[in-house]
Amino acid sequence: MITCVMITQPARLRLARLAVGDFARQTITDSELLVVHTGDAAFGSALVSDLDPTLRPRVRVHEADARLNLGALRNIATAAATGDFVCQWDDDDRYHPLRLELQHEALQAQAADFCFLTDQLHWFPQQRELYWDDWSREAYPLDFIQGTLFGRRSLMPVYPEIARGEDTGLAMDLLRGRHRIARLSDRGWCYVYVYHGGNVFSADHHAAISASKCYSGARLLVRETLLRARLAEYAPRLGALRMPWTGGGLAFE
């Protein structure tokens, strides 16, 4: 069984409900979503109000002290997880229905302890721009996206109790512990990293990622048919957007 762990707060209700909906549409159904939030009971109820009643038992909601930082909240969620595997499920990002299936299969196929994606879609809704970022360009062994953790709960270290960068600290502990890590490549369409203006890191930080790591026009064109099919499987869809590159771009409705 897989426990997806999500941390959220009242200011992110709209985004968090999208993440809950994406969990409900995963092809792997032997799973639960554990939500730790810093709101009240009414906020917790609002998070799951759109779910089919048959799915609500698979979503557990816990209130936590708003004074705790993100790393501490992640540790509370991990400690309360009951699955054999845990998956980081950020409240402001989007997830294709195949995300859990793909990472679980990669972990099992490589007899690994943890699995991370090496690429992602990076969405800027205000500009209606989408990029496909390749993190394998980073130096080995930290050549994966720390926020896409999927792994064995029994081997999880604790997150550093800090306000941001806690997933990087945990990834470093995994590497120091010599855990076997599966790197899942060229499946970036299954995870959409969203910049919405209220992120932990700044607009400049997000823009710099895509400026240095985005797929070229040639790489996008050979994946266009697949990408259009996969984006159409998100519900709700991302909407009208453009994937630009120097001298061109792809348009999506």
CA distances, 154 to each of 31, 86, 133, 185 (Å) = 16, 9, 31, 25
Closest CA to 3 of 192, 156, 157: 156
Q: Indicate the SS3 state at residue 7.
A: strand
Q: Please give the single-letter amino acid code of residue 234.
A: Y
Find out whether 72 and 161 touch, Cβ atoms under 8 Å: yes
CA–CA distance, 241 with 131 (Å, rounded to integer): 10
Closest CA to 17 of 72, 80, 88, 93: 93
Per-residue pLDDT at 59: 96
User: What is the full per-residue pLDDT of the chain (253 aa) written as tens digits?
Assistant: 999 999 999 999 999 999 999 999 999 999 999 999 999 999 999 999 989 999 999 999 999 999 999 999 999 999 999 999 999 999 999 999 999 999 999 999 999 999 999 999 999 999 999 999 999 999 999 999 999 999 999 999 999 999 999 999 999 999 999 999 999 999 999 999 999 998 888 999 999 999 999 999 999 999 999 999 999 999 999 999 999 999 999 999 8
User: Which string of DSSP letters, residue by residue, matches 108-154?
Assistant: HHTT-SEEEESEEEEEETTTTEEEEEEGGGSPTTS-S-GGG-EEEGG
Q: Could you give phi then psi for residue 122, rounded to 5 degrees?
A: -125, 115
Q: What is the pLDDT of residues 182-234, one digit of tens each?
A: 999 999 999 999 999 988 889 999 999 999 999 999 999 999 999 999 999 99
Q: Could you give phi then psi for residue 12, rounded to 5 degrees?
A: -115, 25
Find out whether 245 and 216 touch, Cβ atoms under 8 Å: yes
Which domains occur in the chain, in start order?
Answer: 2-124+133-216 (3.90.550.10)
